Structure 1
């Protein structure tokens, strides 16, 4: 990979005045909370939704439609922000997300809910990338770490609290409020952003890359459907899955060709000439792979083997998510203070490998304390990596590519998570089935096709079958986390090739050095977008 463009000469934002940046950050944090909470709250409400609307056979599409829409729209929101101004595009994505939320809450059948969730996802694609790109516009990389660390903390809080909030809302207000709850949060975010966020107006006179947008949409849709349907709706070797995989690869290859000829490409290929940026996309993909795979199968192990209560399932991840929040905040502060960052991805990669390996050693007799320690190690590793990948990636970009680059990093992490859940799920189901056959043919026959049982169903199993199932789940999670450790090792190796290019921007001023921070794009001469 070429390193010649690692230091990009480009105008960078000065550090914003403290009195204003915290108001902006408040609005951005609410928006990030919207993006992270939605799926977690809705997931908790799904049994109640199916009970009222029916359509159990189409249940997976409630999630798939939302995920597909996010994947397809994320690069577009980033590029439109680069072309037409960040503030207006960001607020448009919030409005579209809220419209989708209202319509989803009003759905009268499963078909309507799926369609409205797709609308919600189209808006959701602009939320996270908008937050990160706005931070990139407002704050120089030297100052950016602490703010992005705060966003990581918000993500952790949402992961822990989402299922709890979703269960409480569904039980006391009804499932429709799982969508309506987005309205007050979204309105507050819109008010704050419209009032205090000031960015220079911009408009690039170029045709929208419709061909590239279409090809990228087809490619991403096909690949997300492969990961969503493979091993569940269709066999991995089925005509449908193979056909989707070929379609996805061909469409993405055609997309790359189209981008070399577009006047204003959706994802400018020039950004990948930067070695650090390309490496951060690789690392981000793997972080998504490991994080989403871990958060999917850890609660399953805890509920099935350790007998944890599924009611507050978000709390089961507390030993992992708490270190994510603490370490992210710590790393952000240290990077802001010292300007050094290369050591953090390396430490994070090592801890992620170690954490996944230790989790693979868990068996039927592993205590909750032991598994909690293993989870904390994994969480610390992700805390060192999550926002550092965005920070280093953005430091490698020109300001004109901030939206496209931020959306690309966000997209690779999302796609990594989709692949992680799909591939780990296939490994898990296969290993559970094989272990059941080895330990108890009776259990294999009785539990055929049921690799994931709810706790109440497990409690009703005969002793011998229950014991066989516990060992099968342990074997499944062993292989899942062992494979995860192997994938995480690739990220660890990649981090050693990161070049520590000085972060753009001056070191933050200390108290007594004069005024707070110098004026920036958020006020003064900046024009309201």
Structure 2
């Protein structure tokens, strides 16, 4: 299996801090929109149903988005390698704009579901290329900080989406949940065109189109069968049986294709690892519980408690607070102790308790008690969610590291889609008969009033009570029947083995951004660079790295001299423009500032001049090779446990470390400001 290394189409000087922050802000806009739209519609769902009808399709407004996002997540990384990540980022933004416009203008539920699928496809591309662009443009030693921040943006915007959706629904229109994306996305595309450098892959990747297509169709058939069963078609009907049979055939074909593919989307060999299998199942269950519950909680709060769309988003904040609290706490504990196994065990059990408690809520349940139940569910989800990606990165062979990381995230996204669909099926199968029975008893209430939360709140208590009880019974039924899923996760979690965490995994464990399983690049080099950045952050807290490297290389060079030689090597190798003026310009310095150090290394025999061009002498090249080798030894010692004992793994890591060591020469020198005055 080979990996594509990203290279610039038009190599340029290192970006200034200000430009780096502008580029990062542009990438954040893409992540923000994509993450928000996973949950922003949840508080608007009752109003959308009242406006457009089609209550049976309500869950598909979330499911279609998540399914399309999962497919795009699998495709976008490879397409970025093939056509350039900047182009894929911009096209994904354009697709997202089209989906948002169609969703905002939709006059029927079916068109809105299709538009949400278009949005989801654009969102998947935005999220994956966002993470890959960070790896392309941010210096290695700063990368962990930026990736963690992007992960935190993903997590926070995902969970505050319901509140924002409620604000738009109450104070403008539910359509503004979609319209608001258009100006933001246009700004993002314009900024990307001006600020993000063009990056392409040095080698064309192999894209597993067959595998991606088969799993997308197979999962779609399975979810359609679950969604339509018992609602639009009887469970024993030819349509439902046909969908399940088609799903089985398509998913079986997917497994067969993956066993033979050159670069499979999901290598079947990963499932020989008990850690990967358990973490994938748990990721599925966590996604199932989190998105499913967050989709139907606002509906409960609006129909049963009679709160506005905005307040239904605000009232879900205890769930968010619990999720964030245990995500941060578990990360801190894992980072300090390296022990992780009992967090998924405890988390899934607490999730089950939280779901059961929420299934007991009713018209007479107090606000504080409801908030406590939501908090319990959030505490469980956060405890189980944080460690799963870290554990997988700790155990799989390095050659499959990126694919395994993406695989766990893929299962979480699928879990979210299945959770929303199954929650929707349970809800739809209950609400129809319950609402019909309630309306039979309250003959003066029209059906269109019963599905509109605002109109329902305006009814006298004796008329609204049976209808509210119908909603209570239906949504409580949903939460109750998800309890066995959480308990299944509790049983599965006991099979998760405890293995010692690598230093790099522990160094990243206490970053809250890691806990939200952001769709990540499947590029193995990107994954290694994240580990390197984490290791360097940890080492930097102990003592400066540069002097240790020079001492290990037994070099007589000063940090400034090593920096000067490194600049000549890098520019000669990458741009062919190793001149004093080019180096000074790249660092926004006058030539006179750095000229003395080049005179000095020239006098010592490390450097020669051919006109304006600087060249390393054989003596200088040998000295720099010793420093690079020392960098490589230092990294190898910090990351040795990433490659286990696999010779292929080892060779791949050696190659990656050699490439990274040259980058680190520049990053180390610039960050320590070792350019002499």
1:514 matched residue in structure 2: 543
Residues 1:361 and 1:113: Cα distance change in structure 2 (over 3 Å): closer
Residues 1:177 and 1:436: Cα distance change in structure 2 (over 3 Å): closer
Matched, 1:73 2:75: no
- The 8 Å contact of residues 78 and 406 in structure 1, kept in 2 or not, is answered as no
1:285 matched residue in structure 2: 284
Matched, 1:329 2:335: no
- The 8 Å contact of residues 39 and 158 in structure 2, kept in 1 or not, is answered as no
1:466 matched residue in structure 2: 464
**Counterpart selection for 2:663 from 516, 525, 529:** 525
Residues 1:290 and 1:42: Cα distance change in structure 2 (over 3 Å): closer
Q: Partners in 1 of 2:384 and 2:369 — Cα distance?
A: 23
Residues 1:120 and 1:298: Cα distance change in structure 2 (over 3 Å): closer
Residues 1:232 and 1:391: Cα distance change in structure 2 (over 3 Å): farther
Q: How far off is 1:373 after superposition?
A: 0.6
2:156 matched residue in structure 1: 154
- CA deviation vs aligned residue, 1:362-384 (integer Å, no higher than 9, x gap): 22211010010110111111111
After TM superposition, the structure 1 = structure 2 runs for residues 477-516 of structure 1, keeping only pairs within 5 Å, are 477-506=475-504, 509=538, 513-515=542-544
Indicate the SS of the match to 1:509.
helix
Q: How far off is 1:403 after superposition?
A: 4.0
Q: Partners in 2 of 1:496 and 1:173 — Cα distance?
A: 45
Q: Partners in 2 of 1:245 and 1:101 — Cα distance?
A: 31
- CA deviation vs aligned residue, 1:17-75 (integer Å, no higher than 9, x gap): xx99x9697666544322111244467778999999x8989986766654442233332
1:269 matched residue in structure 2: 268
Matched, 1:453 2:482: no
Residues 1:437 and 1:287: Cα distance change in structure 2 (over 3 Å): same
Q: Partners in 1 of 2:84 and 2:157 — Cα distance?
A: 24
Residues 1:109 and 1:371: Cα distance change in structure 2 (over 3 Å): closer
Q: Partners in 2 of 1:57 and 1:352 — Cα distance?
A: 28
1:3 matched residue in structure 2: none
Indicate the SS of the match to 1:260.
helix
- CA deviation vs aligned residue, 1:344-399 (integer Å, no higher than 9, x gap): 22221122112112112222211010010110111111111223222223333344
1:338 matched residue in structure 2: 337
Q: Partners in 2 of 1:181 and 1:482 — Cα distance?
A: 41
Q: Which runs of 5+ in 2 are unaligned?
A: 1-16, 508-536, 547-630, 636-656, 667-677
Q: Partners in 2 of 1:275 and 1:465 — Cα distance?
A: 55
- The 8 Å contact of residues 135 and 144 in structure 1, kept in 2 or not, is answered as yes
Kindly tell me the number of residue pairs found equivalent between the two proteins: 501
Q: Partners in 1 of 2:299 and 2:446 — Cα distance?
A: 18
**Counterpart selection for 1:100 from 95, 99, 103:** 95
Q: Partners in 2 of 1:334 and 1:93 — Cα distance?
A: 38
Q: Partners in 1 of 2:306 and 2:53 — Cα distance?
A: 30
1:7 matched residue in structure 2: none
**Counterpart selection for 2:181 from 179, 182, 185:** 179
Residues 1:98 and 1:133: Cα distance change in structure 2 (over 3 Å): closer
After TM superposition, the structure 1 = structure 2 runs for residues 19-418 of structure 1, keeping only pairs within 5 Å, are 29-41=28-40, 66-78=65-77, 84=81, 88-89=84-85, 91-104=86-99, 107=102, 117-129=116-128, 150=152, 153-164=155-166, 166-167=168-169, 170=172, 177-183=179-185, 186-187=188-189, 190=192, 194=196, 203=203, 206=206, 208-418=207-417
Q: Partners in 1 of 2:396 and 2:379 — Cα distance?
A: 27
Provide TM-score, normalisation by structure 2.
0.62
Residues 1:33 and 1:478: Cα distance change in structure 2 (over 3 Å): same
2:627 matched residue in structure 1: none
Indicate the SS of the match to 2:407.
helix
Q: Which has the larger radius of gyration?
A: 2
Q: Partners in 2 of 1:277 and 1:185 — Cα distance?
A: 40
Please, which moves more after superposition, 341-350 or 110-119?
Answer: 110-119
Residues 1:473 and 1:170: Cα distance change in structure 2 (over 3 Å): closer
Q: Partners in 2 of 1:50 and 1:463 — Cα distance?
A: 23
- The 8 Å contact of residues 432 and 451 in structure 1, kept in 2 or not, is answered as no
Indicate the SS of the match to 1:340.
coil
Q: Partners in 2 of 1:381 and 1:281 — Cα distance?
A: 17
Residues 1:188 and 1:380: Cα distance change in structure 2 (over 3 Å): farther
Q: Partners in 2 of 1:72 and 1:417 — Cα distance?
A: 14
Q: How far off is 1:315 after superposition?
A: 1.5
Q: Partners in 2 of 1:145 and 1:495 — Cα distance?
A: 28
- The 8 Å contact of residues 360 and 476 in structure 2, kept in 1 or not, is answered as yes
Structure possessing the higher relative contact order (Cα contacts under 8 Å, 6 or more residues apart):
1
Q: Partners in 2 of 1:257 and 1:213 — Cα distance?
A: 13
Q: Partners in 2 of 1:118 and 1:442 — Cα distance?
A: 37
Indicate the SS of the match to 2:422.
helix
- The 8 Å contact of residues 34 and 186 in structure 1, kept in 2 or not, is answered as no
Indicate the SS of the match to 1:503.
coil
